[in-house]
Amino acid sequence: MSTAAASLGDGAAGLRHLAIIMDGNGRWAKARRLPRIAGHRAGVEAVRRVVEAAPDLGIEVLTLYAFSSENWKRPADEVADLMGLLRHYIQSEINALHKNGVRLDFIGNYRALKPDLVAMLDAARVKTAGNTRLTLIMALNYGGQDEMMRAAKSLARDVAAGTLSPEAITVETLAARLDTAALPPPDLVLRTSGEMRLSNFLLWQSAYAEFVATDTLWPDFNAQALADAVAEFATRERRFGGR
């Protein structure tokens, strides 16, 4: 166990699922007069650090907002760079993730990506499916509103087919149609770079999540910064609307 993890003791009990909005790659690069891709590359190193540190902090599920459904609006060369980095990450890290007991999975409409990339992602899912030390979820071509729309359409089709009564639709019924149906809801949503918004990330699932924002830009995020966020979570009294 790391020194940072040991210092927390049992204070972070209850943090099973951490979701991170990784923000600040562009600003990190701009501050250093580097191209934006340099910030994204540095961000990949931050991903590696956080994935390595998370299990020692008791985190079971780590969801990373890797590419939103709105990111397609960025310049074509930047989108191409991001897709290239995703390919490189999967190719270079999959064996280490597997060796370290990390199960890799994806949410979002990731099957709309290029077929060869989808095949690579699916192969990574299959390779790591039996691992239990940490579940790493990458949100790819993901948007919370799109996810809820897809879930609503799925329910509407069943109602139209006569296999589901509208009165039978509950919170649980809709949640079961979301991309995250097999996962616990996030306990903590963390955003880097000082911004204070969800940016269409896990809108349904975050209904009672705690929120922590840090001024640290994502490429500078490390194990200590993660431990600090977990320690902040441990100070929160979660009420879930009950009082």
Q: Which residues are annotated as a binding site for Mg(2+)?
A: 23, 210
Cβ atoms 37, 230 nearer than 8 A: no
Six-digit token string for 103: 């199960």
Distances (CA, A) of 185 to 95, 140, 194, 223: 28, 18, 23, 23
As annotated, the binding site includes: 23-28, 36, 40, 68-70, 72, 74, 191, 197-199, 210
Helix, coil or strand: residue 190: strand
Bridge partners, 64 (sequence order): 20, 138
- Is residue 95 among the annotated active site residues? no
- Is residue 71 among the annotated active site residues? yes
Alpha helices in the chain (DSSP H): 3-8, 25-31, 36-53, 76-99, 115-128, 144-161, 171-175, 223-234
What is the sign, positive or negative, of the torsion defined by CA atoms of 224, 225, 226, 228?
Answer: positive
Cβ atoms 64, 137 nearer than 8 A: yes
What is the sign, positive or negative, of the torsion defined by CA atoms of 139, 144, 150, 152?
Answer: positive
Q: Strands across the sheet with 17-21, in order?
A: 102-107, 134-142, 61-68, 17-21, 188-191, 210-213
Catalytic residue among 23, 81, 105, 179: 23
One-letter amino acid at 147 equals E
As annotated, the binding site for substrate includes: 24-28, 36, 40, 68-70, 72, 74, 191, 197-199
CB burial of 138-162 (b: ≥16 within 10 Å; e: otherwise) equals bbbbbbbebbeeebeeebeebeeee
Catalytic residue among 71, 109, 131, 222: 71
Residues with a known catalytic role: 23, 71
